[in-house]
Every structure is written in structure tokens, then in C-alpha cells.
Structure 1
Amino acid sequence: MGTNRAGRSRGGAILVAALTVDSVGNGLFLPLSLVYFLRLTDVPLALLGVLLSAATVLTLPVPLWAGALADRVGALPVVVAAQLLQAAGYLAYAWVRSPVGVFAAAALVAVGVRFFWSAVFTAVADYADGSPGGWTRDTWYAISNGARTAGLAVGGLTTGVVVADGRAGTYRAVAYVAAACFALAAVLIAACVRIPPAAVRPADKGRGGYATLVRDRPFLALIGLNTVFALSSMMLGLALPTVMLTDLRGPAWLTSGILAGNAFLVALLSAPVGTRLPRHRRTRTIALAAALWTAWGIAMAALGPGRLGVVAALLVTATLLFTVAELVHAPASAALAAAAAPVAARGRYLAAFQYSFVIASMVAPAFFGTLYEVDTAAPWLALALLNAVGVAGILRLERVLPPNALRAPTPADRPSAVGASAAAD
């Protein structure tokens, strides 16, 4: 899909830095969602679970609104507003005590998170279209993914210190720091990042709205297939602690080491991998990720208790398959979705694409827990089968997606004259 922009995007380094700071804020609270309120309020655990789940359910329609807003006013203002919502929510975290307060604060954060994820991929694609360098969307998505992973890791490590400290004042300090992270990210983007408006091609005019999306069967199929891949990407962090405790019977530090190693490699390798991805068809790159997740699922199913050195070596080898799959899937899938969307409705298309992750996050705990009760190998074998089907599905889908969405544009396709528009797929 071609996109012409009058002028150039500015502030790419600031955008990546802001996304990193944003992720530090997220990383601070990912492990604390329940523990924080248990420590600082008298709300029972069962009620806390209901309140936090209800706050998340409340956000289900948000991508529909976020996508329409991104198309109407631009994705960048939506991202900034989402970060400010999260900052307000975390400020409230430091003061709430009652169930109503907990729900209100959690809902603010959850709505902000959903708005952010529904608009940030459109913002990165818009920036890439006007980028003065030769980087494609694939590269920008890869670098953004690495930056977010690094931020999450830093936030998560900091939280480990907080949990060890255990004092109420320290927990509240984390809420303030998280709020400051989101506020700083919003200020950086609003003040320093500029994206020129897109000039919609005549062929794309009138191709806006969710009615167009509902009739776009190839894109709906892409959302469906990506739900499988999103489920796969969530399974390592979700399942490994349980598997280590009940099946492999290994030490807790091995789980932490595996997850930290995965995050470190994604943060370190996203940029170099991202610069090489544009050489290949996006659909073939996604198929490679699905094949690697298939092999990873089979390897996890074959693991069992044994000598610590052997278990650790096999688990590290299996996790490397997962890590490579994650490295290539994240940028290729986002770039393919952005390129397959008509420019006039890109915000709505990419917001709808986020439902693959929403559905996967809702399904993942039940998928793993139910199958794991049947047999410890069952969830891994089921995941391997789903990904094997995904390989065939994405290769078949390749035939009906827009041909110019399958590859990133070559440097020759991107006008280099100063003031010329930067072309996208």
C-alpha cells in the first residue's frame, strides 16, 4: 500500500525512548497487579480478582473507538492520551482503599493500556512512512519491540527489589514512579515527535469504517491466524513457572533465568534482526515463526524431570526456538497488517488486529490450565498442532493478500529527495 506524506517525520529516537520509558512503567506493575492491593488495602483476594477482571472486560470495546480516533485525529494523540490515562490511574493506585476505588483506578489503567496498544502500531507505521532514513516499517516495529522488551525487563527487575523490601511506602513509591514514567513518555512524544499528515490515494478514498473491514475476508483471516501466534507468544511467561514447579521440579531461579534470558535476547537482537527482515516476504517470515513455535511446543512436551544440568540445557535450547520465533513474528506480523490495511482506515484495521492479542490473553489461562490437567504434554502438543496449521494457513493466505503488502519496499521504492514523500508498502 503506497502512502504519501508531505514532509518528514521527526523525533524517531525520542519515540523509541518514550516507548522504553512507557514499558518501564508497565514492567513495574505486571508482577504486582494483585500483590499491590493485597498489601495496601483490606479488600479480600477473591474480590480483588473479580474487580481486576471486570476492569479488563470493560475495555473490550476500546479498540473500536481507538481505531476510529486514530483515523480521525491521528494515532499519536491517542497514544499520548492513553499514557496520561495510565499515569492518572497509577497516581490513584497510591490512594485507593475501598473496592470502588480499586475498580476505578484499575479501570483507568486498563482503558489506557487498551487505547495505547490499539493506537501505537498505527503511530509507528505512520512515523515509518515519513521516516527520513531508509528503515522500513518492519525495522521500526522490530526496534520498538526491542525497546519495549528492555523497558519491561528493567521494570520487572525493579519490582523484585520492591517485593523483597515489602514496606507499604515502597509499594506506593512504585505507583508514583510508574505514573511518572507514563507522564514523561507522553510529554516526550507530544513535545518532540512529529508525523506529517498522510495523503490518501484516490483508490483508498471511501475505504474507511468497520463495514469495510468486516467485508475484508483476507484481513479477518489474518486476525484469526495471528490469534494462534499471539497465544504462542504468551505461553512461555504464563506456563513456565507452573511447569517448573509441578512437572520439571526445578528451582525457581531457573524460571527467572530463562525468562530474563529471553527478554535480554529480544531486547539485544531486535534491531539487527529488524534490519534483515525486509529482505524476505512477511508471510514467509511469519510461517518461519510458526514452524519454530511448532518445534518449541514439541520440545516442551518432551521435557520431564531429571538431572538439573540436563533439564536446564534442554530448556534453554527449547527457549531459543521460542525467542527466535518471537523476534521475527512481532515485526513481520505488525508490518503485514499495516501494509494490508487501506490508508484511510489503517487505525481501525490495526486496532481490530489487536483483538488477536485480546482474545489470546483471555483464552491462554484456560487453554493451558485445562489441557495441563489432562496431561502435562497436552497443552504443548496442542500448541504445536495449532502452529503447524498456522504455517499452512499463512502460506495459503499469501495468495489473497495484496501483493504489495507481502514485502517491505526496497530503497529504490522510497523517494530520497528532500521534501519528497516517504513511500510505504
Structure 2
Amino acid sequence: MFDLPELRRHIPLVVALGVDSIGTGISGPLLLLFLTRVADIPLQQAGLTLSATFAVALVVPALVGQVVPGLGGRNILIAAQVLQAVGLAGLLVARDLPAVAACTLVAAIGQRAFWSSVFSVIADASDSGPAEDKDRWFAFTNMVQNTGYALGALAAGALLLIPGDLPYLLAISTNAVCFVASALLLLSDRSARRADAAPVRAHRLPALPYLGLIGVAALFAFCSTILGSGLGVCVVDGLAAPAALVGPLLAVNTILSAVGQASAVRLTRRRSRVAVMVVAGIIFAVWGVCTAALGLAPAAIIVPGLILSVLVYSVAELLHGPRSLAYAADAAPPGQRSTYLSWFQYSFALANIAAPGVFAATFSVDPGLPWIITSVVALVACVGLVLVARVLPPAAARPGRAGPPSPGA
């Protein structure tokens, strides 16, 4: 069932990613509640503070891209975990808005630095095995992170059974401990590949074709992100279905993501990465149309229709996720992979900013409109990917046939 990469030399890295995800799953759903109930920050101010700190942290990928060739992705990853631990530990004692804002900013910078360096660390790990391991590595680490987040979210739900402020304090402190444990595990990992040549100086911006890939990836990421942004509102307000459906529907997606990515890579191993991602985009487009059509369906069809919708969405995610990351890694020029992957983080950041706003603005016009727009975005992403692939290294599209590992990555 599981087509695993070569893991023996990288157990600390894999465990570190799992521990990080468990901690994030515990505190992530409760952070806003912590700020309002424990720190006693008004809801509007708390939400604005989180949004503002996340926005300021958008400069981090560009900065990481400049320093990662010299410092190494693993060292930046360790620093990112320490920053997140410090930020969350500070929240345990911060009780006024400026102090809370400072702590959340430190944590947000650490979070963005994590995502700006983790892809290059995973790509480095994949270089120690067979060439085709890169797709397997990204699939496997996605599975580990999704599983960890799901376990953490279950733990967060259990904590809420405890009355008072204690659940929120436990969630934040546990996540801080998880970040420290993750940093220590990464520090103990001696398997990181050392550069065998002088690192190439980081450019301020990736080359134009790679910027095109980042733009296309942002469109795909929008399709992936909008479900989490809008499913609850869609179920309750758009389809008048029970709110209790939202949790199980998201759980189905999480479980499939946790167990299915390695199998998806194995089943599509004879297809090029670009072809698999285009198929994923078409499935995203079909999913959007089907979800929009639920607004016209009889009441008896709503629940099975929602289940089918989430299943179709999950298939698209399973096909797209590992291939996209592996393609981004192999499309980077020699000696610049870590820098380019830091910039690639902007595709996710832009999608996370755009999806909630687009959903809110279009849902108020018509409940089916966000999903139709998602279908259009998916088809545009498919066309864009085909065009961008023509000016990127052809070998990057073929799993297991990319060029040699980039020194200094």
C-alpha cells in the first residue's frame, strides 16, 4: 500500500516533521480562542492582530532565499522552530495587545521561515536515495504532516472537554514544547548532505520561467485552500445542511491525505509530473462545478453530494501535491534550489491570503459562485502549467530523471 522512500538515514527529520505537525494541530484551532478568552483581547483586535502579523511575515521567504545557500536549509529550519517556540511561550505570559502582537509576530516569522526552508531540506534528503525518491519523499512527508495535524486536532478537541482557561494554556504550551523537540531532533540529524561545491550567490529574484511556475502554483493552491476557507459557510448558509457535517467532511479529506499520497505517486509513476498535475487541475474544475450544482439539488442529495464533493477534491489534492513540490525542486537551476524553493513558498502564501477574501466576496453574490470561480481558476492553472513547462527544464517533468542534485541547496 505504501511506496516509501529510503528513510534509514533520515528518521530524525521525519519524526521532527511529525512532532511539529502534532503541536500545530493542537494549538492552531485554538489560537484565536486563546487570545480572546485567556489574553482577553477583543475578537476584532485579535483577528486583526493575527492577520497583520501574517502579512508582515510575508517578507520572510524572500529573506530566507538570500541566506539559505550560505546557512543551509536545516539550520534555518531549526531557527524557525526556535522562533515559533519563543513566540508561543511569550503568549503564555503576554496579556496586553502590544505584547501579544510582538509574540504572534515572532511566531509568524518562525512559521513562514519553516515553510520557506522545509522543502529544500526534504529535497536534500531525497538526494541520498534513488532519483525517483523525490516524489515519494514529498508524498511521504505530506502524509506524516497530515497525520500529525489530524492527531493534534483530535487532541485539541479532547482538551476542550476541560473547563476554564486550562485547555488553551495546555494547547499553547504543548505546541511550544513540540517546536523545541522538533528543533532538537533536527539538530541531532547528521545525515544532511553537505555542499560539494562553492555555493552559488543567491539572486534577488528567480528567473522569469520559475516565477511563472510560482504563479501557476498559486492558482492550484487557491483551488486547494478554498475548501477549508468556505466549506463551513457553504454547508450551513449555502445548503442549509447540519453544521455537524463540517467536521466529518474535513476529517475524510485529512484521512485520505494522510494515507493516500504515496499510493497516488505509485499509481501515476509512469506519467510525467506535468501530465499528472494537469489531470489534478481538471479534477479540481469538475469538483468546483459539482459543488456549485449542489445548490440546485434536492435536499435528499445534499449530504451524499457533499461527501462525493470532498472525495473528488481529495483525489485532486492527492495527485497534485507531491508532484508539484517535486517539480518545483527539480525545475530550479543547479546551485539555486534552496533559494528557488524559498520563493516557491509565496504560491501558498498568496493563496492563503486570496482564498478567504474571494470566497467571502463571491458567496455574498451567489452561493455557487465561489465554486464556479474555482473551476475557472483550475482550468487557467492547467493552461498556464503547460505553457510554463515549455520554458522550464524538460527533465524536471519526468520523475526520477531530473538533473543532478544542486550543490549548496
> For the superposition of Structure 1 and Structure 2, which TM-score range results when normalised by the shorter chain?
over 0.9
Partner residue of 1:26? 24
Q: Which residue of 1 aligns with 2:169?
A: 172
Give per-residue Cα distances to partners, 1:97-139, cap 9 Å, x unaligned.
Answer: 11112111111110110000000000000111123x5652111
- Asked whether the equivalents of residues 9 and 196 of structure 1 are also in contact (C-alpha less than 8 Å), the reply is no
Aligned to 1:210: 203
Matched residue, 1:128: 126
Is the CA contact 1:247–1:305 (under 8 Å) kept in the aligned structure 2?
A: no
RMSD of aligned C-alpha atoms?
A: 2.3
Task: Give the whole-Å Cα distance in 1 for the aligned partners of 2:12 and 2:292.
Answer: 43
Instruction: Show CA shifts across 1:389-423 (max 9, x none).
Output: 2112212222221011111225xx999xxxxx999
Partner residue in 1 for 2:179: 182
Which amino acid is the alignment partner of residue 247 of structure 2? S
Correspondence for 1:139: 136
Mean Cα displacement is larger for which, 262-271 or 155-164?
155-164
Distance change in 2, residues 1:68/1:211 (3 Å):
closer
- Spell out the pairing of 1:185-196 with structure 2 (5 A cutoff): 185-196=182-193
Matched, 1:302 2:293: yes
Please tell me whether residue 117 in structure 1 is matched to residue 115 in structure 2.
Answer: yes
Are 1:368 and 2:359 counterparts? yes
Distance 2:19 2:268 in 1: 26
Residues 124-179 of structure 1 show CA distances to partners (whole Å, capped at 9, x for unaligned) of 00111123x56521110010111111111111111112234242122211111111
Which residues in structure 2 correspond to 1:327-342 (within 5 Å)? 327-342=318-333
Whichever residue aligns with residue 18 of structure 1, its letter is: A
* CA distance, structure 1, for counterparts of residue 69 and residue 261 of structure 2: 28
Q: 1:287 aligns with which of 270, 275, 278?
A: 278
| TM-score normalised by structure 2 residue count | 0.92
Letter of the structure 2 residue corresponding to residue 15 of structure 1: L
CA 1:306–1:377 in structure 2 vs 1: closer, same or farther (change >3 Å)?
Answer: closer
* Alignment-mate amino acid for residue 78 of structure 1: I
Residue 315 in 1 paired to residue 306 in 2? yes
The correspondence for 1:247, drawn from 238, 250, 258, is 238
CA displacement at 1:276 relative to structure 2:
4.0
Number of aligned residue pairs: give it.
402
Is 1:12 aligned to residue 3 of structure 2?
no
Conservation of the 8 A alpha-carbon contact between 2:337 and 2:406: no
Q: Distance in 2 between matches of 1:118 and 1:126?
A: 14
TM-score normalised according to structure 1 size: 0.89
Q: Pick closer, same or farther for the CA change 1:284–1:261 going to 2, 3 Å.
A: same
Counterpart pick for 2:400 among 380, 401, 409: 409
Partner of 2:81: 83
**Quick one: distance in 1 between partners of 2:385 and 2:131?**
27
1:290–1:325: 8 Å Cα contact kept in structure 2?
yes
Question: Could you tell me how far apart the structure 2 residues matched to 1:51 and 1:267 are?
Answer: 32
The separation in 2 between residues aligned to 1:184 and 1:14, in whole angstroms, is: 11
In structure 2, do the counterparts of structure 1 residues 57 and 212 end up closer, same or farther at CA, with 3 Å as the change threshold? closer
Contact 2:334 2:406 (8 Å CA) reproduced: no
AA paired with 1:57? A
Unaligned runs of 5+ in 2: 1-5
Render the CA deviation track for 1:266-303: whole Å, top value 9, x for unaligned. Answer: 10112222334443211111111111100010011001
| 8 Å CA contact 1:147, 1:267 repeated in 2 | yes
Distance 2:121 2:230 in 1: 32
Supply the distance in 2 between the matched residues of 1:125 and 1:356 (Cα, whole angstroms).
Answer: 18
* Cα distance in 1 for residues equivalent to 2:238 and 2:157: 25
Task: Tell me the distance in 1 between the aligned counterparts of 2:379 and 2:263.
Answer: 27
1:344 aligned counterpart, secondary structure: coil
Q: Distance in 1 between matches of 2:382 and 2:268?
A: 18
CA displacement at 1:209 relative to structure 2:
2.5
Alignment-mate amino acid for residue 181 of structure 2: L
| Secondary structure at the counterpart of residue 320 of structure 1 | helix
CA distance in 2, matches of 1:271, 1:193: 26
Offset of residue 212 of structure 1? 5.8
2:3 is matched with: none
Kept in 1, the 8 Å contact 2:287–2:309? The answer is yes
CA gap of 1:172–1:190, structure 2 versus 1, over 3 A, is same
Q: CA deviation at 1:24?
A: 0.9
Distance 2:287 2:7 in 1: 39
For the Cα contact (< 8 Å) 1:85–1:109, is it kept in 2? Answer: yes
Residue of structure 2 equivalent to 1:353: 344
- Structure 2: distance between partners of 1:143 and 1:164: 33
